[in-house]
Homo-oligomer: A and B are copies of this chain.
């Protein structure tokens, strides 16, 4: 058996050495995020994750959430765990004090969120969606709506949902059909929504649905979508719970993974709803929620990788099988076998690279939101905008690969559900799909984030990489130099790909679009390599400076080297696929895709 242990040492390293926690703590409103306070928070989060959430993960998967007569019962223990979650104030962590939040930086909240998603992804989805709903209300809700809902939601007494998808409208929200008829001070919402995470459950007494729908005179397409608050229970004038709203859960899905997280089919039948912001601007508000949610889903990729790694590592140390390939003798723990070692290194190095990139992006969110200097805010926001599809797309695709490696390390036992390794693969498999598939992320990346601004931000990042290359040139360490060479090749591949995308996006958008996912993967590998190279440089300096924890820094250096040799090395081929692969991708017409 393997119990989740929060990877505090690596988290601290990333927070302090790569993501600049000390700088973030100097931002207005972030003063409480001292290294000591953050340490205490992370230790507490780790304890909650290990002690409360992790033990519920496998039983929760096996039992699943159960629907009966419109009500959903979460697995045994979830209700109590959620109560503890609320009582400990975890839900309030990242929000502004105005509505009861603790006002901690996104950077710190990100590390806490990783712990919870590692320990129990199904559980963690409930707060994740609630956060999204809170953000939308903060952004666009009227004062009355904020006053009525935010405090309860920030505290976690009520949860939130995002109702976008309909059977005919998934990635394409232009096809949303749900209706909203004006009725006095509110609207009557009708329609069916599917794939609604925690759309119904027994964890709290109320659920606050945020629902996309069309008013009768709305324009067609995405410009005619409005956003509504539709509570499960209406509120009395004093804020207490009143009448049951006509917002019902018709069923929940039978899914590949995240069994404990109920995925609801919601039916709104003239349910009372309240407009958020202005009519027909729903999609813009949703996008704000979605960006935060996309980052969080990317973080799920990190989290599930970490958890799968921990379980595989524990098994590899314990399982005795096969003689040492060089030494013979009696059977040894499989961690001594080179190919098992290779798999563990793939898991470890990619998890660390993804964590570093995600935390660095989180820190940039804090700067973008709070820095006194406008230029600094804008520069950081542009970096965040560029990197969110990368964090989402790359970390989730990689998370699936890492979880699959975790199964492989277990051999035959990995295929047996009782072992637990397979659950991470099943759970991870949703992450490249929800909150926008990898294809959607990649199109966002090349279109809105690169082509629209002529590649300004990505070129700025490439310039930064050049400066960093010059810094690395000063190192005499052979590993650092090997990493530097691979990173330079990677940056070159990105630069050539960006040039190709900018040249082709306008004149052959199909080719650009066909190249978008290989490009996203390239961006992820190189951005992750950038962070691993930074980590290697820090490790080299700490080792030279006589730092105490030599094994940690030596491991960091070796892990970064491994990442360069096995992952960064793939960059030139991905670049070639982007810049010269378009011909084959679109060559067949539909009829040539014959099955037989």
Which residues of A approach B to under 8 Å, CB–CB?
Answer: 5-10, 46, 165, 168-172, 174-175, 194-195, 253-257, 309-310, 313-314, 317, 320-323, 325-326, 331, 335-345, 348, 400, 404, 407-408, 411-412, 414-418, 422, 425-426, 429-430, 432-434, 437-439, 442-443, 479, 482, 509-511, 513-514, 516-518, 551-552, 554-555, 558-559, 561-566, 569-570, 572-573, 576-577, 580-581, 583-588, 590-596
- Inter-chain contacts of A561 with B (CB < 8 A): 583-584, 587
Contact between A408 and B432 (Cβ–Cβ < 8 Å)?
yes
Q: How far is the CB of A150 from chain B (nearest CB, A)?
A: 29
Secondary structure of the A contact surface, majority rule: helix
Contact between A321 and B175 (Cβ–Cβ < 8 Å)?
yes
Contact between B313 and A595 (Cβ–Cβ < 8 Å)?
yes
Contact between A551 and B339 (Cβ–Cβ < 8 Å)?
no
Q: CB < 8 Å: which of B46, B442, B572, B594 contacts A573?
A: B572
- Inter-chain contacts of A168 with B (CB < 8 A): 320-321
**A488, B304: Cα distance in complex, Å:** 39
Contact between A172 and B510 (Cβ–Cβ < 8 Å)?
no
Q: CB < 8 Å: which of B415, B569, B588, B591 contacts A558?
A: B588
Which residue from chain B places its CB closest to the CB of A558 in the assembled complex? B587
Contact between B439 and A415 (Cβ–Cβ < 8 Å)?
no
Contact between A325 and B513 (Cβ–Cβ < 8 Å)?
yes
Tallying the copies of this chain within the complex gives: 2
Contact between A341 and B514 (Cβ–Cβ < 8 Å)?
yes
- Inter-chain contacts of A566 with B (CB < 8 A): 518, 577, 581, 584-585
Contact between A171 and B321 (Cβ–Cβ < 8 Å)?
yes
**A562, B439: Cα distance in complex, Å:** 18
- Inter-chain contacts of A558 with B (CB < 8 A): 584, 587-588, 592
**A562, B588: Cα distance in complex, Å:** 10
List 6 interface pairs A-B (beta carbons < 8 Å), by A numbering. Answer: A172-B321, A338-B513, A411-B437, A414-B433, A479-B583, A551-B591
Q: How far is the CB of A477 from chain B (nearest CB, A)?
A: 13
Which residue from chain B places its CB closest to the CB of A430 in the assembled complex? B415
**A577, B569: Cα distance in complex, Å:** 8
**A344, B509: Cα distance in complex, Å:** 19
- Inter-chain contacts of A426 with B (CB < 8 A): 256, 426
